Amino acid sequence: MAGTNSTQASVLGGPIVVLVEPQLGENIGMAARAMLNCGLTELRLVTPRDGWPSDDAIAAASGADCILDAARLFPTAEAAIADLHHVYATSARPRGMVKTILTPRFAVGRMRTQIAAGRRCGLMFGAERMGLVNDHIALADTVISVPLNPAFASLNLAQAVLVVGYEWFQSGDATSPHAISGGGDEPAPKAELLNFMMRLEAELDDCGFLRNQEARPSMVRNLRNLFQRAGATEQELRTMHGVLKCLTEKRKRIDSERKD
């Protein structure tokens, strides 16, 4: 369906699109095309299987070169979302995690409110073969699920980007009237939350709480999901760092006294 008109003003901005471990360059290009269709302009790629940059992506983008030219490459999903305040993960399958699940139509309303309040939002999509794995879902605050035929709900990568992007574009300026409190109540960037979680996990390893290696991945995901739901502010994370420091120093002091 042709519809390019360079004389028209372009709609730009919106949430950041993060493609985690995409496989084919063609699919990245088609996702970029879907993004520009819907006014989404920032693309982040996490370890594309076939490398980057990609001639196949450029060919499939059908003119959406500006998206590919500005695309940023990241080694991990954690690095790709580090500066974001709220991450939406797309998934068609139940994952056994306690997460808010929204349709694209309801999710974009929240995104507009958050972005209007100065928060950076991201849309995370998984690889073509199986989508996002549980460890990636655990990084997200909210899950987006597209209501489709329950017997056949699978979408390819570009379709998924287009469906969510279309709802974003259609929502226009229909920003939710519910205000988000500002100032010190802003949620911390993901980098600070991930830094705290890494420290917490290291201390739990050190004290033996995570000694069951079979159960460890599930326990870590549960902890990450707990803190994701909390929406901790920077001040709250500083407090939690202080709590960890106090607890660990006391434990180490007791262990030292026992050795003496």
Backbone angles phi, psi at 128, to 5 degrees: -60, -35
8 A C-beta contact, residue 126 and residue 90: yes
* CA 19/CA 29 separation, integer angstroms: 11
Q: How far is CA 76 from the centre of its chain?
A: 11
Where do the domains of the chain lie, and which CATH numbers do they carry?
16-171 (3.40.1280.10), 183-259 (1.10.8)
Q: What is the maximum span of the chain, computed from C-alpha positions, in angstroms? A: 80
* CA 187/CA 67 separation, integer angstroms: 28
Reading the block at residue 24, the tokens are: 């084919």
**How confident is the prediction along the chain (260 residues), in pLDDT tens digits per residue?**
555 555 444 446 799 999 999 999 999 999 999 999 999 999 999 999 999 999 999 999 999 999 999 999 999 999 999 999 999 999 877 667 889 999 999 999 999 999 999 999 999 999 988 889 999 999 999 999 999 998 898 899 999 999 999 999 999 854 455 555 555 578 899 999 999 999 999 999 999 999 999 999 999 999 999 999 998 999 999 999 999 999 888 777 776 667 66
* CA 32/CA 57 separation, integer angstroms: 9
Angle CA(93)–CA(95)–CA(98) in degrees, nearest 5?
125
> For the residues of 72-92, what is the DSSP string, one character each?
EEESSHHHHTTT-SEEEEE-S
Reading the block at residue 68, the tokens are: 């590919």
8 A C-beta contact, residue 82 and residue 50: no
Other Cβ atoms within 10 Å of 40 Cβ, number: 25
Q: What is the pLDDT of residue 150?
A: 86
Q: Give me the helices (H) in the chain, please.
A: 25-37, 55-61, 65-69, 77-80, 104-116, 134-137, 157-171, 190-207, 216-230, 234-259
Q: What is the pLDDT of residue 96?
A: 76
Q: What is the pLDDT of residue 7?
A: 43
* CA 92/CA 150 separation, integer angstroms: 9
Q: What is the pLDDT of residue 175?
A: 46
Residue (of 197, 205, 209, 204) closest to 240 by Cα position: 197
Backbone angles phi, psi at 72, to 5 degrees: -110, 145
